[in-house]
């Protein structure tokens, strides 16, 4: 690899890491808002309302960026496949989130980088250095120390959350297969539309509850965070090396722990703090680890 190519790859990796880190913070903020609203509104209804607002917001952004001239790209087979995977992952993840703690759901979702790395090796033949494999293992060990799973905690909803994680990992992998000329905002819009449509059909089989202004305001804020998270995740998955960028999803757990303390007063115990240290160390290690054998 030439010096110029190496510098370009390093810059792409930095963009991807920044995008996925901020994106994960946005997703955690969205999750917290939606989890709060789920206490008073049916799941299908709140997902539909949030999705509708997110779709309108993204449509407006796409129009401002001039991307709506290419709305036909929404019917691209790979774009539609990605949107379908995301709608399945979103619904299964949110259903579990409504029944288990925010930090636990976020931590289970942290298995995504392992799946993405395996897919990157199998499909793209990315040469992953042994140091990166070790860093991934250290980071996931940190996740387990934070969650500290015990028998009673692995309910059906935890398994449902894991199913959502598998869908999301496949979605992130599918993002890499989409034509790079298709604007990221349109890919993001396709996801929002698919989730909204899925929830809309689902809501036909549930009774709707009256919506209060404060609930709408919270869902509007959630839609902003969700749209930002979708967009940044799309940007991250189209930049640099997947095996390096994907593990920075672990930052989402740190955001969830901070938010849990700020809002609900949850304080990690000693084992959880050790897990946080391992997560941070693994992330910094991955930034310096060599790309290939």
The string of DSSP codes covering 140-181 is HHHHHHHH---GGG--HHHHHHHHHHHHHHHHHHHHTTS-TT
Stated as kind and residue range, the H or E segment containing 271 is: helix 270-288
Per-residue pLDDT tens for 49-95?
999 999 999 999 999 989 889 999 999 999 999 999 989 998 899 88
Tens digits of per-residue pLDDT, 92-107? 998 888 887 787 788 7
Whole-angstrom distance, CA of residue 15 vs CA of residue 21: 10
Tell me the whole-structure pTM to 2 decimals: 0.76
pLDDT at position 103 is 77
pLDDT score of 193: 94
Q: Given this model, what pLDDT does residue 293 score?
A: 47
The Cα-based distances of 21 to 81, 151, 228, 285, 291 in angstroms read: 25, 31, 12, 16, 20
Low-confidence ranges of the chain (pLDDT < 50): 153, 292-293
What is the per-residue pLDDT for 229? 87
**For the chain, what are the domain ranges?**
9-288
Task: Give the pLDDT of residue 59.
Answer: 92
In this prediction, residue 26 carries a pLDDT of 93
- As a whole number of angstroms, the longest Cα–Cα distance in the chain is 62
Rounded alpha-carbon distances, angstroms, from residue 196 to 19, 54, 190, 275, 286: 24, 9, 10, 36, 36
């Amino acid at each position: 690899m030439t010096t110029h190519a190496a510098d370009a790859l390093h810059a792409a990796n930095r963009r991807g890491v920044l995008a996925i880190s901020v994106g994960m913070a946005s997703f955690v903020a969205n999750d917290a808002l939606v989890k709060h609203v789920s206490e008073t509104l049916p799941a299908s209804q709140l997902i539909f309302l949030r999705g509708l607002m997110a779709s309108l917001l993204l449509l407006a952004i796409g129009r401002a960026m001039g991307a709506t001239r290419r709305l036909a790209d929404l019917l691209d087979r790979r774009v539609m496949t990605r949107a379908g995977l995301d709608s399945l992952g979103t619904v299964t993840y949110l259903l579990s989130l409504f029944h288990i703690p925010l930090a636990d759901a976020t931590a289970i979702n942290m298995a995504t980088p392992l799946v993405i790395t395996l897919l990157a090796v199998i499909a793209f033949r990315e040469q992953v250095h042994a140091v990166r494999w070790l860093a991934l293992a250290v980071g996931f060990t940190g996740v387990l120390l934070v969650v500290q799973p015990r028998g009673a905690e692995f309910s059906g909803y935890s398994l449902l959350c894991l199913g959502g994680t598998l869908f999301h990992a496949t979605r992130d992998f599918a993002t890499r297969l989409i034509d790079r000329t298709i604007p990221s905002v349109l890919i993001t819009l396709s996801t929002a539309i698919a989730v909204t449509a899925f929830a809309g059909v689902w809501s036909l089989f549930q009774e709707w509850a009256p919506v209060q202004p404060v609930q709408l305001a919270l869902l509007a804020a959630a839609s902003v965070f969700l749209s930002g998270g979708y967009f940044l995740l799309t940007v991250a998955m189209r930049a640099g090396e997947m095996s390096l960028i994907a593990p920075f999803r672990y930052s989402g757990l740190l955001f969830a722990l901070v938010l849990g303390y700020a809002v609900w007063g949850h304080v990690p115990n000693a084992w959880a703090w050790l897990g946080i240290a391992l997560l941070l160390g693994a992330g910094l290690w991955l930034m310096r680890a060599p790309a290939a054998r």
